[in-house]
Amino acid sequence: MKDADWILIFKLKEFIDYFSINDLIQLSLICKKFRNCLSSAIFSTFNFNNFTNMRSYKTCVISDIENRYGSRVIHLHNAHSPLNSEMIDNIGKFNLDIKLYPIQSKKLEICYAEHYFYLLQAIPSLFTRLTTVAISNSKIKFETLQYLLDSIACLDNVELSNNKLTHNSLRSTAVYIKWPNSLKSLKICSNMISRIEDVNNSISPLTTIFRLTPTDYPLLYLKCLSKLKYFEYKHICLQPEYKNLCEFLKLNPQITSLKMTVTAFHPKLLTAVEHVNSLYNLHLSYERDQMSEVEYSHLSTLNTSGFVTITIHDFCKNYDKIIKKFPSLAGLLVEMDCSSIEKLFTLIKKLPSANNLHLKINLEHSNALKLTFPKLNNLNSLEFILNSTTSIKNISWNVDSCPNLKLVKFSKAKDQFYTSRPKINRKLTGCWKIIYFPNSVAYYKVI
């Protein structure tokens, strides 16, 4: 193949998305032409952790010792006390290092960060083309987060997941995150407010207070974000702040794709969805449903005509009653995370007669399995997610009672791959084609 043809292929989004950053780096080492084609993709994301860990900036860790119980006790510089002279000097060094960065990245990625929090304030002035900020599993000042959101001019995508936001107040007052008007996509999942006990102490041994009340979680600032199309909300706690969620959705009826994950299903979830009249994709995920028959009968009926995904677990016995509250669906995907085969088929037998049904099952078994599916005329696709100990050859499956089934797929769990093509001896009624992918095997029915 000519170099010119490869260059065209390298510019395809499908090609770039298929490979990891490390894969692209390896490809770029082949020749200068490849490097020129791939550099924009390789450096499109600025990984704050990788960049700071590879350099000798002053860390915020003052001491890291093991106590008598064998646990680590880490003392950090208090993020709410003044910076020392070495940290101030390192901000200047960080600025100079960033100026040597090959291109202007479009995405800022921060993960498991807390040791170099003082460098984050320099980001907006150094990367002027950022459109995405993704922060996860990190501990940073609430004021620093708000500064990033306020100062990045063209921000259209924000992802905040599993973070502890330190706040210099012990009072149980509500903390609101204010969002830029330019947002098109917002993901806010399981973040907490960590209240600092002593803001004057320069050493903070992770001394925080968690009262597990709604004020210990950041709330959605109530405003209309006219460009917002995708919104994901995850709140795994005893009492999510449904009122705040409902009010936010009421102000943003233009959202077309909505995902909500909670511990227990609550009628207020459907009340929140009622306000979004432009919705086309809805994903509800919950671990249990404990409502009474009266509560189910009073659930709102929604006229959503789009595609709905329901993720359920072993303890979700009445999910079919919830699905029936969506009578006008274009399609339905039911994701089942089930540890018991008996419970799995109990749930499957209750599947509603919605049009265009799709089923995804997470199998957590290593022993041989025999799966014979009941009659499901509306089932179009079926996918099994296999963990590292589950092999396709140990699964015997029969889908003869599903006449409209067009796809059966066996996928490895996230970040797992097949080292060799699985050998499958399975006779299917009709004509089926098998296609192998690095992390899945798919059967397509040829019509």
Q: For the chain, which residues make up each domain, given as ranges?
A: 1-42, 45-228
pLDDT for the residue 184: 97
Q: Residue 381 pLDDT > 90, yes or no?
A: yes
- Closest C-alpha among 98, 87, 147 to residue 127: 98
pLDDT digits (tens, 9 = 90+) for 40-57: 666 788 999 989 988 888
In degrees and rounded to multiples of 5, residue 115 shows phi and psi of -85, -15
In this prediction, residues 132-160 reach a mean pLDDT of: 94
Cα distance between residue 58 and residue 41, in whole Å: 30
pLDDT for the residue 366: 57
- Tell me the sheet residues that pair with 381: 358, 407
CA-derived radius of gyration, the chain: 25
pTM of the model: 0.84
pLDDT for the residue 162: 93
Using pLDDT thresholds of 50, 70 and 90, give the confidence band for residue 368.
low
In this prediction, residues 343-350 reach a mean pLDDT of: 77
Question: 46-62 burial by CB neighbour count: b if 16+ within 10 A, else e?
Answer: bbbeebbeeeebbbbee
pLDDT for the residue 391: 75
Cα distance between residue 443 and residue 428, in whole Å: 10
The percentage of the chain sitting over the pLDDT mark of 90, rounded to a whole number, equals: 25
Q: Residue 315 pLDDT > 80, yes or no?
A: no
pLDDT digits (tens, 9 = 90+) for 99-134: 888 788 999 999 988 788 889 999 999 999 999 999
Q: How many residues does the chain have?
A: 447
- Closest C-alpha among 384, 374, 383 to residue 351: 374
The number of beta carbons lying within 10 Å of the beta carbon of residue 383 is 18
Distances (CA, A) of 238 to 215, 242, 266: 13, 12, 11
- Tell me the sheet residues that pair with 232: 187, 259
Contacts (Cβ under 8 Å, ≥6 apart) of 295: 267
pLDDT digits (tens, 9 = 90+) for 274-284: 888 888 999 98
